[in-house]
Amino acid sequence: MLLDFNNLEINNLHPETDFEKKVIFFLKEWFSESKTVKVQTSGSTGTPKIIEIEKEKMLNSAKMTCNFLDLKKGDTALVCLPIEYISGKMMVVRAITRKLKLIISDPSLKPLENLNESIDFCAMTPLQIENSLHKIHFIKNLIIGGAAVSESLKSKILQALQHSHSPTHIYETYGMSETLSHIALKKTYPIQDQYFNVFDDIEISTDERNCLKIYAPQLNSEILQTNDLVEIKNTNQFRFLGRIDNVINSGGAKIFPEQLEALVKKEIANEVVFLGVKDESLGQKLILIVEGFESENLKSQISNLKFEKSFHKPKEIIFVEEIPRTPNGKVNRLELKSIFDI
């Protein structure tokens, strides 16, 4: 289904799939007299919940993204993220705001399977991109959300696009439900930036823990205090280091699992998660969970990695068939930790 927001009659639409029906239901909710819409949070850092968000603030967020990417009236976008979450809803709101033509594609692992023409804009998860590398050259502006972009995926993107002569620009996003999707983007292709670039009219700072604070009055009336450890370069650039609640204290040394995971993923394609589990002598023992079948070759590769510190090397490597994830595809560290931290 294609929705042209320059000339849209909702009552004349005939959705066929369940996802198309959900998109139309959201459009009717959006164009209703209510000033708010209900959004499901992901549950990646806590209990999933339903929150109400002002439509005006969603419009402000949509304008920020459209302006940053220079999207214009009549450009084509594709939505392939669940409409229950802010990520899917905001794709629709951006199309409404900038009067885009919006292609509706079921939120599957291969959402670009039927795409055979160039489009201007799409948002996808890393797992969706992993399964769509042969098609991403069709997308001019691609933003990635839901989880961090692994070094392995960055390499695969480079390989897929380096000979395509495609005008594709790919960005990693930073944000959460409370910031109405993202408030900053970091270019991943054709160059790889180290710092996120914050949108205009958003102020960033840190608290005494060096965790990011966000002041974005157009998106949220409150100052948002995150648990994300960051390094601020200037007033509109920062580097994400890891979540403070994921920090592992092993024998008095603080370890940032996200940084170690990025290092390991440069060498192996498997999903990996570093955890700190209870240990009598160390307080927390560093272990590595690897998704996939047990392999001596993978163990050897990991053991031979040049970790910056000796205590960054996992004390144990555990293989699991599947790492638990939240409904929108994020690694569920809380559930994983409950399994092993016994």
- Residues 65 and 94: beta-carbon distance below 8 Å: yes
Question: Based on the domain organization, do 261 and 194 belong to the same domain?
Answer: no
Can you tell me the distance from the alpha carbon of 80 to that of 110, in angstroms, rounded to the nearest whole number?
A: 9
Question: Based on the domain organization, do 169 and 95 belong to the same domain?
Answer: yes
Question: Based on the domain organization, do 164 and 267 belong to the same domain?
Answer: no
Q: Is residue 283 assigned to a domain?
A: yes
Can you tell me the distance from the alpha carbon of 304 to that of 307, in angstroms, rounded to the nearest whole number?
A: 9
- Nearest-Å Rg of the Cα atoms of the chain is 21
Q: Does the structure show a pLDDT above 70 at 329? A: no
Which CATH number goes with the domain that contains 302? 3.30.300.30
Question: Based on the domain organization, do 184 and 293 belong to the same domain?
Answer: no
Question: Based on the domain organization, do 162 and 310 belong to the same domain?
Answer: no
Question: Based on the domain organization, do 174 and 303 belong to the same domain?
Answer: no
Q: Does the structure show a pLDDT above 70 at 181? A: yes
- Worst-scoring range by mean pLDDT, 49-63, 143-157, 188-202? 143-157
Q: Is residue 81 assigned to a domain?
A: yes
Question: Based on the domain organization, do 144 and 54 belong to the same domain?
Answer: yes
Q: Is residue 235 assigned to a domain?
A: no
Mean pLDDT within 196-219? 94
Which CATH number goes with the domain that contains 196? 3.40.50.12780
- Residues 88 and 102: beta-carbon distance below 8 Å: no
Here the contacts of 298-305 (C-beta below 8 Å, separation 24 or greater) are 298/268, 298/270, 301/267, 301/268, 302/264, 302/267, 302/268, 305/263, 305/264, 305/267
Q: Which domain holds residue 9?
A: 2-200
- Give this prediction's pTM: 0.80
Helix, strand and coil percent figures for the chain, each rounded to 5? 30, 30, 40
Average pLDDT, the chain: 90
What sign results for the dihedral spanned by CA atoms 266, 270, 273, 279? negative
Q: Does the structure show a pLDDT above 70 at 342? A: no
pLDDT in tens, 51-76: 889 999 999 999 999 999 999 999 99
User: Which of 200, 234, 266 is the C-terminal boundary of a domain?
Assistant: 200
Total structural domains within the chain: 2
Instruction: Say how many CA atoms lie within 13 Å of 309 toward its Cβ.
Output: 11
Backbone phi, psi, residue 54, to 5°? -70, 135
Q: Is residue 207 assigned to a domain?
A: no
- Residues 202 and 173: beta-carbon distance below 8 Å: no
Bridge partner residues of 175 (DSSP): 182
Question: Quick one: pLDDT band at residue 42, thresholds 50, 70, 90?
Answer: low
Mean pLDDT within 101-111? 95
Can you tell me the distance from the alpha carbon of 278 to that of 248, in angstroms, rounded to the nearest whole number?
A: 10
C-alpha 111 chain-centroid distance: 16
User: Which of 171, 200, 229 is the C-terminal boundary of a domain?
Assistant: 200
Question: Based on the domain organization, do 188 and 254 belong to the same domain?
Answer: no
Question: Based on the domain organization, do 192 and 43 belong to the same domain?
Answer: yes
Q: Is residue 319 assigned to a domain?
A: yes
Q: How would DSSP label each residue in 52-98?
A: EEEHHHHHHHHHHHHHHHT--TT-EEEE-S-TTBHHHHHHHHHHHHH
Q: Is residue 221 assigned to a domain?
A: no
User: Which of 200, 234, 257 is the C-terminal boundary of a domain?
Assistant: 200
Q: Is residue 225 assigned to a domain?
A: no
pLDDT in tens, 244-302: 888 888 888 889 898 899 889 888 888 899 999 888 888 899 999 999 999 899 999 99
- Residues 77 and 88: beta-carbon distance below 8 Å: no
Q: Is residue 227 assigned to a domain?
A: no
Higher pLDDT: 270 or 21? It is 21
Structure tokens at 191: 């160059």
Q: Does the structure show a pLDDT above 60 at 174? A: yes
Question: Based on the domain organization, do 196 and 275 belong to the same domain?
Answer: no
Question: Based on the domain organization, do 126 and 58 belong to the same domain?
Answer: yes
Question: Based on the domain organization, do 19 and 167 belong to the same domain?
Answer: yes
Q: How would DSSP label each residue in 10-63?
A: GGG----SHHHHHHHHHHHHHTSS-SEEEEE---SSS---EEEEEHHHHHHHHH
Can you tell me the distance from the alpha carbon of 134 to that of 159, in angstroms, rounded to the nearest whole number?
A: 10
Question: Quick one: pLDDT band at residue 43, thresholds 50, 70, 90?
Answer: low
Please report the pLDDT score of residue 48 as a whole number.
65
